[in-house]
């Protein structure tokens, strides 16, 4: 249950005063529909209203806050003229001008003979100092409410900065006084303000420097958010680690046989991660380990050897792929090897039906199948193993912590190895996989030829088609990738279908098409024909991104390359890096080309190192490119900025782990405060599931 102290913050935004239906809608679009969403919406600029000169000294084109006496109202003679109010401070005159206003309201706000404080930009017009539509008109006794630095928020249509400031003030006013959830000595050492103070300061910047993410108030808030993230992961991690596992220590005979059969030696990196994995398997606790390796680094064989370790101990193992195509591909690698050493590997996907399925399920339960290969979906269903001791999950996209935990409940204390081909910068590994141990294959097998990557405008498509024709004549196979078709974008996107048709006109029946909306069965059929060489040019949406292995394919053309994120481009290019032949990647772009998109394409030209690309991606995304963030699914922070706060993350990670060692149930004073923090940043799943009380 959410602590009651947080109720006001999680209440709908219209619990604040003066928010009508329209405003509520606009605010919802701007930041969300709860008070807390509003509080995380920090200013991006300031207006300085501290400049308060005498009129004779006032700098033109500057925001001034002026105390003046109202002398005279001059109504407009024509519709084009403004309504004018002449004021003076004894040293000079100021004309306040208004278009399209009701004279009554001006009279009310600016009665002749009275003194008022006005704030706004002063300009010179027809020789006179003028302020057009002052931002503020207040009585002298209220001068304090405007004389200062005004925060400027990112806005949306329908919300003015003035209105937002007013609402924000209310919102800040209802933030309850929280007990400190940070470690006091750490807080003192950093000289950080309390959460409440930090939130207030962040919303009331005094200078431009206060807007920087490394400003002290913002830093404290970022740390709070990172700590919530790390604490939630640490809770999950602790709990999984404490689970009794089994000691898997195979005799190594099967693995030895396989290593003899393989036409290559393992790379040093493969050896290293296998050692790390084997140590986990041998320990009495459960393994929960992430295996990272760039495309083509040889993760499959590592997974297979990991599973063999369990099989050597008489248990079963399973590997789950994100798609049917990939599951089949794993089968093609693993099954022949298994046959050589007298093991049985089977494929179980949604398409295996009827008697075959019944038999596989039965044999699995009887322990006659050693290794099961399937898709994620199947493992959610009721598949019973005789003795499942090892699960390998080949990830396509990120799995949530909870999905991982649901999986870990399968099998007999089974060890879990999660593989990902998306190179993730170290800092993000912590935020997303902080609950897991971590291994990295940081080397690809020797002898691979670099990909010749070129960037060119789509206007040169004729040249591209000519070059492609030569390649196809030489017997090469090629991919042509188009961005996904989104309904709203149909008009300006070179949809895969259209491209398919034009290319078919040129290359005839050598051309095939696969896209995400196709039936799995049809997709496979096309892929199969491409694999066999019946098709030599495959037009595709990003469905081919995921680990499809056609070693003969050596050419890739990516249309609208500027629309893809770096990670995605890297994955795509990985498809033609499989063999030892030279290969070519053409990145076609269209205008307008943003600066970030331009940098992305250049990075692709310069390097093939997935981890380097991932780091660059993070840097570029720091610039606020939403596309990349959304695509890689790491945009989970509201206040922390991973390009700036990386170091805080490491501290938060240590802090969280230490805290759980001292107070595993979070029942101490700090522990209770931390529970509130978890709820505040909505990382409460872990609390609900694993903490008592």
Residues in contact with ligand ADP by CB under 6 A are 264, 266-267, 270, 293, 295-301, 421, 445
Q: Considering only CA atoms, which of 345, 277, 263, 344 is closest in space to residue 309?
A: 277
Q: How far is the CB of 21 from ligand ADP (least distance, A)?
A: 53
**Residues in 480-539 that interact with Mg ion by CB under 5 A:** none
Q: How far is the CB of 574 from ligand ADP (least distance, A)?
A: 7
Nearer to Mg ion, 205 or 547 (CB): 547
Other CB atoms closer than 10 Å to residue 505's CB: what's the count? 9
From the list ligand ADP, Mg ion, none, which binds 264 (C-beta under 5 to 8 Å, kind-based)?
A: ligand ADP
Q: How far is the CB of 276 from ligand ADP (least distance, A)?
A: 16
Q: How far is the CB of 443 from Mg ion (least distance, A)?
A: 16
List all residues 6 or more positions away from 551 whose beta carbon is below 8 Å from its beta carbon: 578, 579
Number of residues that bind Mg ion (CB under 5 A): 2
From the list Mg ion, ligand ADP, none, which binds 587 (C-beta under 5 to 8 Å, kind-based)?
A: none
Nearer to ligand ADP, 245 or 423 (CB): 423
Nearer to ligand ADP, 130 or 297 (CB): 297
The three-state (H, E, C) secondary structure of 361-373, written as one string:
HHHHHCCCCCEEE
Q: Considering only CA atoms, which of 631, 644, 690, 116 is closest in space to residue 396?
A: 631
Q: How far is the CB of 264 from Mg ion (least distance, A)?
A: 15
Q: How far is the CB of 641 from ligand ADP (least distance, A)?
A: 31
Per-residue binder mask for Mg ion (CB under 5 A), 539-568, x = binder: --------x---------------------
**In a 3-state reduction of DSSP, which class is residue 31?**
coil
Residue nearest ligand ADP, Cβ-based: 298
Nearer to ligand ADP, 317 or 482 (CB): 317
Report d(CA 300, CA 383) in Å as an integer.
23
Other CB atoms closer than 10 Å to residue 54's CB: what's the count? 12
Nearer to Mg ion, 94 or 307 (CB): 307
Q: Are 315 and 390 in contact, with CB atoms under 8 Å apart?
A: yes
Torsion of CA 664, 669, 671, 677, to 10 degrees: 170
Q: How far is the CB of 255 from ligand ADP (least distance, A)?
A: 14
Nearer to ligand ADP, 31 or 421 (CB): 421
Q: How far is the CB of 443 from ligand ADP (least distance, A)?
A: 9
Here the tokens at position 246 are 């089994």
Nearer to ligand ADP, 125 or 264 (CB): 264
List all residues 6 or more positions away from 575 whose beta carbon is below 8 Å from its beta carbon: 295, 479, 544, 545, 548, 550, 553, 556
List all residues 6 or more positions away from 353 whose beta carbon is below 8 Å from its beta carbon: none
Q: DSSP for 329-377?
A: HHHHHHHHHHHHTT--EEEE-TT--HHHHHHHHHHHHTT--SEEEEEHH
**In a 3-state reduction of DSSP, which class is residue 455?**
strand
Contact between 571 and Mg ion per CB under 5 A: no
From the list ligand ADP, Mg ion, none, which binds 172 (C-beta under 5 to 8 Å, kind-based)?
A: none
Q: Are 287 and 439 in contact, with CB atoms under 8 Å apart?
A: no
Residue 17 φ then ψ, to 5°: -80, 150
Q: How far is the CB of 337 from Mg ion (least distance, A)?
A: 15
**In a 3-state reduction of DSSP, which class is residue 22?**
helix
Nearer to Mg ion, 151 or 547 (CB): 547
Q: How far is the CB of 275 from Mg ion (least distance, A)?
A: 20
Q: How far is the CB of 11 from ligand ADP (least distance, A)?
A: 48
Contact between 300 and Mg ion per CB under 5 A: yes
Contact between 278 and Mg ion per CB under 5 A: no
Report d(CA 320, CA 337) in Å as an integer.
18
From the list ligand ADP, Mg ion, none, which binds 297 (C-beta under 5 to 8 Å, kind-based)?
A: ligand ADP
Nearest 5 degrees, angle CA 528-CA 534-CA 537?
Answer: 90
Report d(CA 78, CA 75) in Å as an integer.
9
Here the tokens at position 458 are 């789509």
Here the tokens at position 302 are 């590592």
Report d(CA 178, CA 163) in Å as an integer.
27
Provide the binding-site residues for Mg ion, judged by CB under 5 A: 300, 547
């Amino acid at each position: 249950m959410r602590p009651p102290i947080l109720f006001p913050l999680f209440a709908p935004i219209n619990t604040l005063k003066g928010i009508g239906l329209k405003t509520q809608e606009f605010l919802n679009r701007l930041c969300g529909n709860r008070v807390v969403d509003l509080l995380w919406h920090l200013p991006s600029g300031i207006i300085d209203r501290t400049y308060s000169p005498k009129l004779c000294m006032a700098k033109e084109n500057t925001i001034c806050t002026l105390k003046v006496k109202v002398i005279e109202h001059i109504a407009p003679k024509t519709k084009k003229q403004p309504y004018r109010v002449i004021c003076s401070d004894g040293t000079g005159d100021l004309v306040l001008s208004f278009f399209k206003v009701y004279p009554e309201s001006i009279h009310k706000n600016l009665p002749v003979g009275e003194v008022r404080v006005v704030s706004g930009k002063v300009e010179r017009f027809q020789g006179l100092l003028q302020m057009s539509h002052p931002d503020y008109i207040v009585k002298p006794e209220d001068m304090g409410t405007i004389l200062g630095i005004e925060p400027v928020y990112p806005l949306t249509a329908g919300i003015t900065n003035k209105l937002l400031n007013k609402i924000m003030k209310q919102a800040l006013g209802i933030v309850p006084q929280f007990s400190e959830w940070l470690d006091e000595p750490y807080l003192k050492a950093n000289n950080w303000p309390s959460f409440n103070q930090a939130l207030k300061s962040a919303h009331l910047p005094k200078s431009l420097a206060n807007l920087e993410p490394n400003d002290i108030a913002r830093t404290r808030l970022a740390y709070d958010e990172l700590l919530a993230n790390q604490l939630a992961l640490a809770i999950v991690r602790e709990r999984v680690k404490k689970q009794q596992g089994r000691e898997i220590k195979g005799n190594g005979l099967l693995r030895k046989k396989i290593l003899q059969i393989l036409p290559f030696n393992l790379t040093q990196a493969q050896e290293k991660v296998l050692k790390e994995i084997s140590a986990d398997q041998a320990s009495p606790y459960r393994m929960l380990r992430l295996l990272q390796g760039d495309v083509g680094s040889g993760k499959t064989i590592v997974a297979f050897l990991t599973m063999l370790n369990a099989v050597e101990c008489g248990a079963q193992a399973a590997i789950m792929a994100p798609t049917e195509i990939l599951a089949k591909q794993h089968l093609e690698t693993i099954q022949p090897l298994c046959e050589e050493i007298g093991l049985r590997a089977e494929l179980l996907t949604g398409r295996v039906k009827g008697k075959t399925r019944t038999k596989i399920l039965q044999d699995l339960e009887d322990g006659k199948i050693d290794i099961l290969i399937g898709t994620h979906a199947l493992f959610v269903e009721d598949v019973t193993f005789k003795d499942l001791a090892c699960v390998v999950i080949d990830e396509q996209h990120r799995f949530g912590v909870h999905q991982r935990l649901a999986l870990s409940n399968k099998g007999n204390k089974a060890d879990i190895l999660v593989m990902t081909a998306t190179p993730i910068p170290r800092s993000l590994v912590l935020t997303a996989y902080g609950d897991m141990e971590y291994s990295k294959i940081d080397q690809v097998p020797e002898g691979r030829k670099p990909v010749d990557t070129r960037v060119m405008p789509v206007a040169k498509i004729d040249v591209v088609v000519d070059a492609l024709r030569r390649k196809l004549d030489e017997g090469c196979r090629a991919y042509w990738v188009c961005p996904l078709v989104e309904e709203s974008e149909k008009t300006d996107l070179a949809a895969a279908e259209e491209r398919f048709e034009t290319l078919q006109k040129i290359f005839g029946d050598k051309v095939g098409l696969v896209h995400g909306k196709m039936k799995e069965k049809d997709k496979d059929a096309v892929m199969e024909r491409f694999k066999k060489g019946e098709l030599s040019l495959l037009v595709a949406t990003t469905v081919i991104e995921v680990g499809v292995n056609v070693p003969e394919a050596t050419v890739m053309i990516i249309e609208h390359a500027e629309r893809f994120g770096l990670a995605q481009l890297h994955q795509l290019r990985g498809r033609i890096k499989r063999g030892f032949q030279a290969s070519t990647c053409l990145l076609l772009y269209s205008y307008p080309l943003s600066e970030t998109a331009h940098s992305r394409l250049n990075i692709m030209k310069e390097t093939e190192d997935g981890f380097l690309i991932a780091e660059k991606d993070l840097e570029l995304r720091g610039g606020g490119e939403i596309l990349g963030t959304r695509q890689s699914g790491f945009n989970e922070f509201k206040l922390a900025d991973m390009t700036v706060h990386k170091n805080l993350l490491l501290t938060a990670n240590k802090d969280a782990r230490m805290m759980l060692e001292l107070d595993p149930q979070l029942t101490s004073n700090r522990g209770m405060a931390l529970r509130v923090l978890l709820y505040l940043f909505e990382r409460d799943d872990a609390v609900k599931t694993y903490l008592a009380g």
